[in-house]
Chain A
C-alpha cells in the first residue's frame, strides 16, 4: 500500500488504537517552556503521577525573557516567578533546562533544530502552536495544550485521532527577492486561515526542495496559521547535512544508519492526499499582510481587496487601512526582525547583506532579536553586528521578544510594525499595536526607507 510521509511517521508511532476512538501516539521529544508547563507539573504532582521519561524532555525559557540586560534579575515579578517555577520543576524532575544565561538558551523552535534534537521521523510536541516548525525535518511536530503536556509527562503518549492529509505543491523558480516567508504568506493568503483545520500539510515541489533548512522551518512554522496542526517537508541531503555534527545528532556509524532510514521517509509515488493544492513559483511576489489574521495578505504590487464581510471591515478599521488602497509608501515607525519564524542566522545574513552601507530612517525603531544564544554568537563572529550597528539597528538578546507582547518588548498603541513574526492579531505585539507581517528583507527595506517600499526594484 502506498503511504504519505505523514502516514509513515504516524503509523510507526501508534501504540494502540481504541475502537471507534482515538489512537495512542508515542512521542519521541517533548519540548517545554515556562508559560504552558507549570499547570501540567502541578497536576501530576497533585495526582501523584511521576514523569515517565524525563530524558525525552528539553526545557527552555523564551516567552517571558527580557531581551536586554539578561544578566540582571527580571523586573516583572510574575515573569520572574514563572521562570523560577520552571527551574524548580525541571530540577525536581531531572529535566534538562537551558535557562536564561545558558549558552544554549533561546526560542524553543530555534534551539531544538540547532542542537540536533529535532530529527527526521520523530514525533515532537510542545505546548506552543508553532511547534509545527520542526516538521521541516520530516518529523510530525505539533502544538498541544497544557492538559496534553500533562498527558505526555505522565505517559510519553497522547490520545489523538489521525488528522487528514493535505499537500501543497509549488514548482518553478522563485523571483529575485522572494523569500520563504513570502511563499508561506502567499499560500495562507490563497487558502485562508482555516483551510488546514483537521489536516497535516506536506509541502512538496522544487521550491521547497531548493530551500535551505532555515527557509523550510519558516514555511512549516506558519502551517498553523492556515489551521493545519503541522507541516512537513521530506528529508533530503540538505536536511542530513544540516543535522550532521550538531550537539545531539547521532554520530559516525549511527548517523549513516539513520540517514539510510531517513531516506525512506518520502511520500510514495501514487499515495493519495485528502486535499491537494498546486501553485506556480513565478506567481509569488514579496508579501505583506493588511489585516488582523495571517490570511489577509497581498502581494506588494496589489491593492487591499474589497470585502463586505463584517469581520473584514472591522479588521481594516483596526488597522486604519482602506479597501482598494496600496501599502506602498505607508510610513512605518517600528520594525521587528525576530521570532520563531525568522530569527535564524540566514535571516540576519539576508538583512545584513541588504543594509550594508545604508542607514536606518530616523523615524524607525528597528529591533533585531536573534532566536538563540548560538545565533547571537554567530552574528558577532561573522561581523554582522558591525553592519547592524553602523546602520543604526539595535541588536538585542535572544527571546520571543515583540512577537507576542508577553515580555517588555511591545509596540505602542496605534503604531504600525513591519514584523517578521507570525501573527498579526489585534494587540498581538502590544495593546492597540498594528502588525504587518513580512519577510526579513521587506522588514529591512522598510527600516531603511522609513516606509513600505517595493525593494525588488533596487535588487541586483
Chain B
C-alpha cells in the first residue's frame, strides 16, 4: 500500500446524501478478477444519460471541478460491501473522501486501500459545499499527521478522528495482513484452547 502524505487539492463536489456503492460502481461492472481499471466506470449511471449521452450536469463531467478530494453528502458509501467502490474511487484519482458520515464497510474498505475517509461535522461540510460552489478552485488541505482538514489560506479548519492503528498503517503504508500473519503464533494458541 502507498504511504499517505498530506494532500493539498481542489475538490469535486457531490452534494447528494446516501450515495450507495451501487451508484459508485454498478454491479454489472464487478465481473473482473483483478483490482485495476474500475475508475472508468465510477458513477457510470450518473455520468451518462440513459441514451448513452454524457450527462453534462454531473459534477465529475464538469470541467470546473477537479482534484483528488471528493466532498460528498451525508452517509457516503452505504449499501453493498463491494470493495470495488473504493478501488474505483482510487483508480479515478481520488485520495480523500470528505463527508459528514460514512457507512462502516465502505470506511474500512477505503482505509484498506489508502483512500482516506475524512468525517467532518455537518457545519464544516456545509462550509465546504458553500466554499467550493463559490470558488471551485478552492484548495483543501488534509493533514493526516495532525488530523486537521482546512481550507487553504483561511481560518476554516476542523480536527477529524481516525483510529490510531489505522493512522500508523496509512502513514507507513502497512496493511492488516502484515500484522495478522505476524500474529500467527497467538492465533494458533487461541485455536488450541478454543471451544465453540
Residues of chain A at the chain B interface (Cβ within 8 Å) = 15-16, 18, 20-22, 24, 26, 28, 35-36, 38-39, 42-43, 47, 49, 52, 63-64, 76, 78-79, 81-82, 85, 119, 121-122, 127-129, 143-148, 150-151, 154-159, 161, 163, 193-194, 197-198, 224, 227, 229, 258, 293, 309-311, 314, 404-406, 413, 423, 425-428, 431-432
Contacts and interface: CB of A to CB of B under 8 A. Distances in A.
A146 B83 contact: yes
A425 B75 contact: no
Nearest to A194: B75
Contacts of A309: 17
B80 interface: yes
B151 to A, nearest CB: 23
A154 B113 CA distance: 17
B79 interface: yes
Contacts of B66: none
B176 A147 contact: yes
B28 A26 contact: no
B161 to A, nearest CB: 12
A134 to B, nearest CB: 14
Interface residues of B, number: 55
Interface in B1-32: 15-18, 20, 22-23, 26-28, 30-32
B31 A156 contact: no
Contacts of B109: 145-147
B155 interface: no
Contacts of A427: 22-23, 26, 45
A81 B33 CA distance: 8
Nearest to B102: A197
Nearest to B76: A194
A128 B32 contact: no
B33 A39 contact: yes
B101 A197 contact: yes
Interface string B70-110: 00011100111111101000000000000001111100110
B164 interface: yes
Contacts, number: 188
B105 A293 contact: no
Secondary structure at the A interface, as helix, strand, loop or mixed, is loop
Interface string B22-56: 11001110111111000000000100001000000
B180 interface: yes
B186 A194 contact: no
Contacts of A150: 177
A417 B164 CA distance: 45
5 contacts: A18-B165, A39-B33, A121-B196, A145-B81, A155-B177
B180 A82 contact: no
B1 to A, nearest CB: 9
A198 B73 CA distance: 18
Contacts of B113: 147
B23 A21 contact: no
Contact of B83 (A16, A145, A405, A413): A145
A85 B181 contact: no
Contacts of A76: 31
Contacts of B84: 146
Contact of A198 (B33, B104, B163, B181): B104
A197 to B, nearest CB: 6
Contacts of A146: 35, 83-84, 109
Interface string B159-193: 00001110000000001110111011011001100
Given A42-B33, A82-B33, A129 B187 contact: no
Contacts of A42: 33-34
A15 B190 contact: yes
B102 to A, nearest CB: 8
B143 to A, nearest CB: 20
Nearest to B112: A147
A24 B185 CA distance: 13
Given A21-B164, A26-B190, A155-B184, A405 B28 contact: yes
Nearest to A426: B23
- Point out which of B73, B83, B84, B113 has the most chain A C-beta atoms below 10 A from its C-beta: B83
A197 B196 contact: no
A314 B190 CA distance: 51
A64 B112 contact: no
A311 B32 contact: no
A314 B181 CA distance: 47
Nearest to A21: B165
B28 A406 contact: yes
- Point out which of B32, B176, B184 has the most chain A C-beta atoms below 10 A from its C-beta: B176
A314 B16 contact: yes
A194 B78 contact: yes
Contact of A155 (B27, B181, B194): B181
Given A158-B180, A197-B101, 10 more contacts: A16-B186, A24-B183, A129-B80, A129-B105, A144-B105, A146-B109, A155-B180, A310-B17, A423-B22, A425-B22
Contacts of B165: 18, 20-22, 159
A202 to B, nearest CB: 17
A27 to B, nearest CB: 10
A426 B45 contact: yes
- Point out which of B33, B81, B82, B113 has the most chain A C-beta atoms below 10 A from its C-beta: B81
A36 B78 contact: no
Contact of A78 (B31, B73, B180): B31
Given A47-B177, A194-B103, A413-B50, A293 B183 contact: no
A49 B104 contact: no
Contacts of A145: 81-83, 86, 105, 108-109, 112
B32 to A, nearest CB: 7
Contact of A35 (B15, B30, B181): B30
B175 to A, nearest CB: 7
Contacts of A413: 50
Contacts of A431: 26, 45, 50
A197 B74 CA distance: 12
Contacts of B184: 52, 155
